[in-house]
Amino acid sequence: MVSRAAALEDPLRHRTVVRPVELVGVGVHTGEPCRVRILPRQLPGLLLRARDGQPVELGLAAVESTERSTCVAGVMTVEHLLAALWVAGVTAAELVVEGGEIPAMDGSALPFWSAIRRVGTQPLEAERPLLEVTEPLWVRDGGRLCAALPCPGLRVTYVVRLRDRPAQAVDLEVDEQTFERELAPARTWGYADEAEDLWDRGLALGASESNTLVLEGGAYRNRPRYEDEPARHKAVDLLGDLALLGAQLRAHVVAVAAGHELHLALARALAGQSGSDGRCR
């Protein structure tokens, strides 16, 4: 929701891409060729066309699975693309997907971010909703936690517990500059000894050292882009899941040993507790 005061002082506008964007690759889970086209749209909202070609509005209600990725309206691994769109302010676009999964590219959000930046964005007339957290709100599952605290902007703190090395944490204010420099390049990651189990379950069939950071024996098998790359990538996943709110968020989001399921539980709690003035109490 948009608070009246925010709308009067500094209207937030929905944005769309200036020109179509196309990215092609393989799905990190399906291992199959995938394609996504990001098309300009003059009405608010992200529409996804896949399966039978019928448009589905992207939002929390469209989430179908959170096993190792976020699957929305039949399309797996939407989170990296959605994180890039959300931080760029793109909340009006049509996503046409072939192959049932967003292409993995190099395993990070950077290719999507770079493509969006390359074509540019433009504002629409419609005002963009704003969710402002005014009191602490949290969800938890045992020792796993996702919380949203009052904050004048968007800040993310993410703590990842790793079984073969000390825990990692990242804490930063999220804007276009910090996303591009500190988060977008961080790749998806996994443990080498989990690979066969994932393959048996029909997952990670397209994973390789070209799109996945491999953790093995307390070290990295391939060269990391950051020493705390796993924590940074989890922050990207969080942003991609929160993008399904369809609104700008003013909050300090803290995640401890969380994952897609808990990210989305927090997003649903935020959506459920936002008042008519756009404030979450």
Active-site residue among 14, 80, 252, 260?
260
Q: What domains, with CATH codes, occur in the chain? A: 4-280 (3.30.1700.10)
Q: What is this structure's pTM? A: 0.93
Interval 38-64: pLDDT, tens? 999 999 999 999 877 789 999 999 999
Coil, helix or strand at residue 38 = strand
Interval 85-131: pLDDT, tens? 999 999 999 999 999 999 999 999 999 999 999 999 999 999 999 99
- CB-based contact 100:205 (threshold 8 Å): no
Question: Cα–Cα distance between 245 and 226 in angstroms, integer?
Answer: 29
Contacts for 62-71 with beta carbons within 8 Å, 24 or more apart? Answer: 62/244, 63/244, 63/264, 66/259, 66/260, 66/261, 66/264, 67/203, 68/29, 68/198, 68/203, 68/204, 69/28, 69/29, 69/260, 70/237, 70/240, 70/241, 70/244, 70/260, 70/264
Whether 260 is a known active-site residue: answer yes
